Every structure is written in structure tokens, then in C-alpha cells.
Chain A
Amino acid sequence: MSTVSTAEAVETVFRIESARIIAGVARIVRDVGIAEEIAQDAVVAALEQWPESGVPDKPGAWLTATAKHRAVDLVRRRQTYARKLAEVGRALEDRPPAEPPDADGIDDDLLRLIFTACHPVLSAEARVALTLRLLGGLTTREIARAFLAAEPTVAQRIVRAKRTLAAAGVPFEVPCRAERAERLDSVLEVVYLVFNEGYSATAGDDLVRPGLCEDALRLARVLAGLVPDEPEVHGLAALLEFQASRTAARTAPDGAPVLLADQNRAKWDRLLISRGFESLRRAGTGSYALQAAIAACHAGAASYADTDWAAIASLYGRLLEVRPSPVVALNRAVAVSRARGPEAGLALVEELADVPALRDYHLLPSVRADLLHALGRTEEAGAEFARAASLTANERERALLLERAARAEAAGGPPAGERPA
């Protein structure tokens, strides 16, 4: 019979519970930085006490209670005014302090923590770092490694983010109905950014850093559990489930990217795909839901040739209405070219040639090259592939584009498909 060592037990329980413990403490001390320190103190206490007392029956509850007691002690030491003591009294009884009543009855510390860590007062990168640290349970070193940043830089970013929240007096609460949509956008954006950084690593040698994708997916699932009535949360969850389902098929054994057209669909993760469809049923018609619906068209196609490009082109058209963006317009052009031929697609691509936002975007010349190649204009295609290669920061992608440039210039074979999706 094997046993779990006390230190291991403490570590495991803390990893599972840390976000909730921090959230519970933050509601008392109203400062996520202090809350994190107090949660760590509770772990130290467990490491000291559990070897003698044994692991408690409900170790998560023990850690939470210990941390909350320490939080209350701290507040008591710091606040001597009667008014503050009254607040502490309420916190001691584990009732939320008086707050504007929430019409939707959403009362969850973890949700408060998510909304606080993703508060718009913080820059996107600060929100990302703080969310991964407080909600994802990642260490500063892990975050630094994931984003190819120096550890002190990330540590600084987190410290500054906590200070900014404190200085701005950001309340530790779920935003009211009027602000909810905008604040939720800010949360979903963070989850989406984390996933994308893992899914199409913008820099470095690896095309995919699956760890980040999984952290993001987990956050999306947690959110879907916390606010099940928000359709866009399910839209984002569906999108990420579908995207993640292709992870194993997206890179060759040597790490090179595999284009959607060439992916072995047997390697797509059936479980994640069915979870994606399930989430999509609960999603609305927001921008994540529409992107998820597009991903669903791919997930549901038995082969690349079976893809319903007309449906995808029309979904991109709707997406363009909801969230106009040159990148979406470019993707729509690709879908149109599959549905109605390269000429129709190229006409749309040419319209985007002078859009400033796409000037340094490697996928524009890459798509253009594809279509030129399909039309037999191989010399122009080769030049465009080379231009695309010069614009990407990802080594793997650059290698693939250079190879296609060389192939096009040698006027070789049929078009190999589109960009990795």
C-alpha cells in the first residue's frame, strides 16, 4: 500500500484550492497581494502542523479556515476603528460585508477574484500575468518561461499589477449588471490571449506550448461553471475546446507545423470535440460563439475536402459584422476562395492590401501567395511566401514559408493548403 507524504498532500491540496483560498481571504482583506501572502502562510502552517496532527479530513477547508483566521487577525491588528471592527465581525461570521445587492444572485469569491485580476485598469499583459498567477496557480518562473520573458520582469509586472489594483481602489466584487458585459469581455480576452499564446506561439522555437492552452481551457471551463448564464463564456469555451482538439495533429514529430488540409483527423481529440459541440449549444451569437461555430464546421468535416466552406464564409461574414477586423476579413477571403475559387478570394485579399493593421502581418502575404499559386502565378507566389517568411517571428513557421517559397519558385506541385488553423 502506498501512502502520500504530508508535504505532498499539502502541496496537492493547496494547488487545487489556492485560487479559492486567495479569493476567500481577498474578500476579507480587500487586497489580492496580501491575500496571496496569507494563503502562503496557511500552507506553511499546514506543513508545520499536519506531520504531527495528521492530514485533516477536509484539508481544503482547513487551509481556507486557517487563512481566513489569519486574515481577520491582520485586519484586526490594522484597523482599530469601531466601524472597521464591525466589518471584521461580519467577516468572522463568514457573511459577505455589506455590498450593493447583486440582482443576479451571483455570489462567489472565485468569480470576484477573476473579475479583479482581469480589471480593465490593468494592461492586458498585467491581467494575463496576474490571472495565471492567482487563478492558474502558475509560479512566476512558469509564467516567465511560458511567455519567454525574464523572471524578474514578470515578478515586477505582478507586483505592479497588485499595486495598481490597490491604488485604484478596485473593489473586490462581481460587477453590477450594467458593467457586466464589458468587464466579462475583459476576462474572456485574458483567457483567449493565454490560449493563443500557447496555441500559436508568437515567438521562439516551439509552434505550440500546450501547457498554456490547457491552463486557458481550464479557466474557460471554470468560468462556464461559475457564470453558466453568460452565452459568450460558453462560446469561448467551445472555441477553445475545438481548437485544443487539434493540438496533436498540428505539429509533425519534428515540431514543424502541419496545415489544416494535411492534418491527420484521426489525431483530433474526439472528447474535446464533443465537449466543444456541447458548449456551442449553450453559446449565443457573440464573436466567440461565431468563431466556435466556424471551428465546429472544421471539427465536423470528415476530411478537408468535405469542409462546408460556404457555411464558413457566411459565418465569417457575420463575424465581420459583430467584430470588424482586417484579420477576420482575411480569413473570410480564404473561406470564400475555398467556396468559390481562388479568383474570388484573391479579389477580397487585394482589398486588404493597404490596410495599415495588416502591413506587418505575415498571414496576408501568405494567403495571397497561396491564391496566386493556385492561379498558376507561381513567380508572384514565391515572392509573397518569402515576404511572409520575413514577417513571422516564429522559427517553425518561417521554415515552412521559406520551403513553400522555394517550391513555388521551382513551380512545383499544387497548393499545399492554407495556413495552420
Chain B
Amino acid sequence: MPRFLSISRHDERNRPAEPPAPELQQRMAELYEEITKAGVVLDMAELAPTSEGTRVAWVDGRAEYTDGPFTESKEVVGGYTVIQAKDKAEALEWTRRFLEVQGRYEPGTTVEVREISEG
């Protein structure tokens, strides 16, 4: 069964100020329960803001460090999920279900689904 990395991106400068409404939090909890019981998620995490991140590049034979925040791009990676599914269609269906909930809280969220190459 192939694995997929779902990379979730959001606009870091325009994050919702308020936590999700109780009703939406409830939906999020239900979705979390659903995916746990379906046994498809191998790993899942939200990332700390880019202001706490550092980019490392190899330039002229030495490491060069750039501290966040990374303001040049509107959307930054905010989280990821590793899904194991029978095929990409199944991974996309789970992603759709995630966005159906998350998109109501943070409308600009996009998710990129990439197959993890094995071997």
C-alpha cells in the first residue's frame, strides 16, 4: 500500500485570531476519531511558526543559515500527514475530508498530496 505525504500550507500572516468555534472543534475531533479508527494515518503533526525555523543551504562549500520568519512566500508549510492508503484516490478522499473541516476554520488552506517513493 503506497504512502502519501500530505503537506498542508496556510497564509501565516493571516491566521484566524480565534480558536475554532465549539461546533467546529467537535467536527475536528470527530474527524480525528474517524481517521484513527480507519487506521490510515501513520504520522501527523502541526509545525511551529516559521519565525522559529531556520533554513540551511550549502553555499560555496559551507553551510549558510537563514532564520525565519520566511516572509517572501504567502503560503508556508503548516503541517503534514503521512497516510497509507490503497491508492491515490483514497488519499485524496481523506484529504478532501480534512479540508471540508479545516477549510471552514482557515479558508486559504491548501494541501499537496505526494506519493512517498519506496525502495
Contact = CB atoms under 8 A, between A and B. Distances in A.
Nearest to B1: A214
A4 B37 contact: no
Contact of A15 (B84, B86, B92, B119): B86
B39 A16 contact: no
Contact of A218 (B39, B94, B118, B119): B39
A120 interface: no
Given A110-B37, A222-B38, A225-B37, A271 B90 contact: no
28 contacts: A11-B89, A12-B90, A12-B92, A15-B86, A16-B38, A16-B93, A16-B94, A57-B100, A110-B37, A211-B1, A218-B1, A218-B39, A218-B40, A218-B84, A220-B39, A222-B37, A222-B38, A222-B39, A224-B39, A225-B33, A225-B36, A225-B37, A225-B38, A225-B39, A226-B37, A248-B118, A275-B42, A275-B43
Interface residues of A, number: 23
Nearest to B89: A12
Interface in B1-56: 1, 33, 36-40, 42-43
Interface string A195-232: 00000000000000001001000111110111000000
B92 A4 contact: yes
Contacts of A110: 37
A222 B89 CA distance: 20
Interface of B: 1, 33, 36-40, 42-43, 82, 84, 86-87, 89-90, 92-94, 100, 118-119
A8 interface: yes
B93 A13 contact: yes
A65 B33 CA distance: 20
Interface of A: 4, 8, 11-13, 15-16, 57, 110, 211, 214, 218-222, 224-226, 248, 271-272, 275
A202 B1 CA distance: 22
Chain A interface helix/strand/loop/mixed? helix
* A57, A218, A248 — most chain B CB neighbours (10 Å): A218
A114 B42 CA distance: 22
Contacts of A272: 42
A11 B40 CA distance: 17
A11 B88 CA distance: 12
B31 to A, nearest CB: 12
6 interchain residue pairs of minimum CB distance:
A221-B39, A225-B37, A222-B39, A12-B89, A225-B36, A214-B1
Nearest to A272: B42
A225 B39 CA distance: 7
A222 B119 CA distance: 26
Nearest to A237: B39
B36 A271 contact: no
Contact of B90 (A16, A219, A221, A275): A16
A368 B15 CA distance: 65
B55 to A, nearest CB: 24
Nearest to A211: B1
Contacts of B33: 225
Nearest to A253: B119
Nearest to A2: B92
Given A211-B1, A218-B84, A271-B82, A12 B93 contact: yes
* B1, B93, B118 — most chain A CB neighbours (10 Å): B93
B50 to A, nearest CB: 24
B80 to A, nearest CB: 12
A219 B119 contact: no
A219 B39 contact: yes
A12 to B, nearest CB: 4
A299 to B, nearest CB: 16
A224 B90 CA distance: 21
* B33, B38, B87, B100 — most chain A CB neighbours (10 Å): B38
Contacts of A211: 1
A242 B92 CA distance: 28
Given A4-B92, A12-B89, A214 B39 contact: no
Contacts of A219: 39
Nearest to A226: B37
Contacts of B42: 271-272, 275
A33 to B, nearest CB: 24
A276 B39 CA distance: 14
B1 A8 contact: no
Contacts of A226: 37
A222 B36 CA distance: 7
Contacts of A8: 89
Contacts of A12: 87, 89-90, 92-93
Nearest to B33: A225
A226 B34 CA distance: 10
